[in-house]
Amino acid sequence: MTVMSNESKGMLLGVLGVVAFGLTLPATRYVVPHLDPVFIGLGRAVLAAVFAALLLLITRQPLPDKFQFYKLLVIASGVVVGFPVLSAWAMQTAPSSHGGVVLGILPLATAVAGVLISNERPSAGFWLSGAAGCAVVVLYSLRGGAGSFQPGDLALLGAVASAAVGYAVGGQLSREIGGWQVICWALVISLPFIALPAWIQAPENGLNIPVNIWMAFLYLALVSQLFGFFLWNKGLALGGIARVSQAQLVQPFVTIIASAILVNEAIDATTILFALMVVGWVAIGKRMPIHANN
């Protein structure tokens, strides 16, 4: 019986996490006409934090030490506050399928962040394949914006930067305290800072909002903000930040399909072509060697 290597396990978990994250933008686009972007971004984190706190209490997880706490603050800033709020704001003006392709730059950004904080040293071929995928995303964004970046694109790029740092630090810390514990502690630590803004931006007529909108919001809270990270952080810890981060190159395709199904967005052939071009680089990047500094 063949035993799966840690690298393969990490990549498998990473892909499953990406599938979970791939529905985030369409779900956000679905609820943004009914809910304030700040509430979408922070409110989902508040709900996820409640479940995270219960999990930590039930399993009696030890408190993070001082240095782990600092890392958790960085993670919370990126994936609990930065990415959710900025991506929700972008979905007010940009189609989720467009956003999914723009987020194709995230693997390269995560790899860069991973190199800066870890001992991973990707080869030149790895960087070239990542840069090629990045270039495709930039060309796609400029095409959609008639030669310039639109406000939604700038918000998405900010979301990319936020997520990249959070993913990289989260992957590193997952090796110390576990993948699911990282996102749970990040949510719990952020709760005192996000509860009031989320409450202020909460809808006054929440009972009049359709149930399907709240179900999509529940997905954002429990899957996009919580359980998806269980898979993702564990994958990064097992397979390495730089390599597993390249699994995110399949996210545009997942998002495009979900956009067509969930929010009835018309997907043109050019969007599919650009997505396939971006996705194509994941196979190349995965084959490129990544070394560890001694």
Q: Write down the domain spans for the chain.
A: 6-198+211-292
Distance CA 236, CA 119 (A): 14
Give the total residue count for the chain: 294
Whether residue 81 contacts residue 219, with contact meaning beta carbons closer than 8 Å, is answered with no
Which residues, 6 or more positions from 121, have their beta carbon under 8 angstroms from its beta carbon? Answer: 115, 290, 291, 292, 293
pLDDT value for 146: 47
Which helix (DSSP H) or strand (DSSP E) does residue 57 occupy? helix 44-58
Helix, strand counts (H, E) of the chain: 16, 2
Whether residue 159 contacts residue 103, with contact meaning beta carbons closer than 8 Å, is answered with yes
Kindly report the pTM of this predicted structure.
0.83
Which helix (DSSP H) or strand (DSSP E) does residue 120 occupy? strand 120-122
Q: What is the mean pLDDT of each run of 10 residues along the chain (294 residues)?
A: 76 88 90 92 95 95 93 95 92 80 76 76 78 76 59 84 90 86 95 94 88 95 91 84 76 82 78 76 68 60
Distance CA 227, CA 221 (A): 9
User: 68, exposed or middle or buried, with CB in 10 Å at 0-12, 13-18, 19+?
Assistant: middle
- The dihedrals phi and psi of 49, each to the nearest 5 degrees, come to -65, -35
DSSP three-state, residue 123? coil
pLDDT value for 198: 94
pLDDT value for 148: 52
